[in-house]
A and B are shown apart, each in its own frame.
Chain A
């Protein structure tokens, strides 16, 4: 599928599986999982440097920013002000204007505060950021984010880390019809079939973290996810047959005794 490239804001991505880098045992496992998944976009969080214990290794020692697109997120931000602050710090620390914008609205579900998200996205787009917003599976909000200038939208499949799979496939399908920018299904994937389904519906990519990092064997799951995303994409492009209630024989009647 080398000719099937994903392009967002003029940037070309090889892999349609994007992965988060949290919750792994160590950086060695993180890198192995990313490489096995074949992901070229990895999300990272922005946090204080540990100034008392400098022996701690840096994630970027393991993930060469020349090889991977480092996508900083504003995870953990509950207000517009916090999200803006983290995004600006990420840009100052990083290599690009990309930000995965999260404004979280509720601690138990980690559902996005979509009003805050739209407000923060507006400001960051004006400041020249390439804003990839983590949003709810709400088609109207997705449309608004695109109208503001987000070059892609990232609707959730289910709450972050829940592993529930795509809770609202019909909304996802409507989003895919309504917006003309890439749609990256983000959060809630539990296993390979969830990722395949998202891709079969026509999603442009899938972003996941816990589904891989939390699996009994993260590296094996990374491999499963790689094939799952590829299979879903191929099936989407191939075009599935329509569902019918009754059988259609696939062997000819002619020539029967």
Chain B
């Protein structure tokens, strides 16, 4: 199935969970927040939340920032 992860198209196995997606992407779950179709998930939901065709997933983390537009943003805005 096709899903969007951080604005980019991606192919994933049907029913893949958020936790599995993070493992596949080599992302530590304790450092990120995940939003599926603009719904923010609790970390406890990562293991059981299955993804579906066309889902929009956002994976965010903390970067260096003071205020306003934060310097060099190599990872873009949401």
Contact = CB atoms under 8 A, between A and B. Distances in A.
A140 B76 CA distance: 35
Contact of B64 (A24, A89, A100, A102): A24
A46 to B, nearest CB: 5
A134 B67 contact: yes
A interface secondary structure, majority: mixed
Given A60-B31, A93-B31, A93-B60, A48 B7 contact: yes
Q: What class of interface size applies to chain B in its complex with A?
A: 35 or more
Contact of B68 (A21, A30, A56, A76): A76
A58 B30 CA distance: 12
Contact of A45 (B31, B43, B62): B62
B31 to A, nearest CB: 6
A79 to B, nearest CB: 12
Contacts of B34: 92
Given A75-B67, A160-B67, A160-B68, A47 B73 contact: yes
A90 B66 CA distance: 15
Task: Give the most central of B38, B40, B63: most A CB within 10 Å.
Answer: B63
A210 interface: yes
A75 B75 contact: no
A238 B25 CA distance: 56
A45 B64 contact: yes
B67 A47 contact: no
Contacts of A82: 78
Nearest to A72: B62
Interface string A177-190: 00000000011000
B27 A49 contact: yes
B11 interface: no
Task: Give the most central of B42, B43, B77: most A CB within 10 Å.
Answer: B77
Given A51-B6, A93-B33, A75 B66 contact: yes
Task: Give the most central of A20, A72, A100, A186: most B CB within 10 Å.
Answer: A20
A59 B67 contact: no
A45 B70 contact: yes
A49 B60 CA distance: 5
B1 interface: no
A56 to B, nearest CB: 8
B77 A49 contact: no
Given A47-B76, A47-B77, A88-B40, A21 B58 contact: no
A210 B38 CA distance: 32
Contacts of B67: 20, 43, 73, 75, 100, 102, 110, 134, 160-161, 186-187, 209
29 contacts: A20-B65, A20-B67, A22-B65, A23-B70, A44-B62, A44-B65, A47-B63, A47-B70, A47-B75, A47-B76, A48-B60, A48-B61, A48-B75, A48-B78, A49-B6, A49-B27, A49-B60, A50-B74, A51-B8, A51-B25, A54-B27, A73-B66, A75-B68, A76-B68, A89-B78, A92-B33, A92-B42, A92-B43, A102-B67
Interface of A: 19-24, 27, 30, 43-52, 54, 56, 58-60, 70, 72-73, 75-76, 82, 85-86, 88-94, 100, 102, 104, 110, 134, 160-161, 186-187, 208-210, 213
